[in-house]
Copies of this chain bind each other. A is one copy, B any other.
Amino acid sequence: MTIARVTEISSTSETGFEDAVRNGIKRANETLRNVKGAWVKEHTVDCENGNITRYRVNLMVTFVLDD
């Protein structure tokens, strides 16, 4: 019997969505144990003066709870 929690984080990057995903997983692992995976719920970009300043992803991160 395994119990996992699913938490939503948003993470950004200045270069692209895949980099934003990696940043998010990296940060999640700093505070959570047993991170199993994530579903990318949203892809958005912020813009200023005609340029993309940030790529953002909202991730639903699943991590298994210790018994």
- List the interface of chain A (C-beta within 8 A of B): 1-14, 16-18, 21-27, 29, 35-40, 42-47, 50-52, 55, 58, 60, 62, 65
The reply to whether B43 and A40 form a contact with Cβ atoms under 8 Å apart is: yes
Q: Which residue of B lies closest to A40 (CB)?
A: B43
Minimum distance in angstroms from A54 CB to a CB of chain B: 8
Residues of chain B lying within 8 A (CB to CB) of residue A40: 42-45
The reply to whether A1 and B12 form a contact with Cβ atoms under 8 Å apart is: yes
Bound state CA distance, A51 and B44, in angstroms?
Answer: 23
Bound state CA distance, A18 and B19, in angstroms?
Answer: 11
Residues of chain B lying within 8 A (CB to CB) of residue A16: 18
With A27-B65, A37-B47 known as contacts, the answer to whether A9 contacts B6 (CB < 8 A) is yes
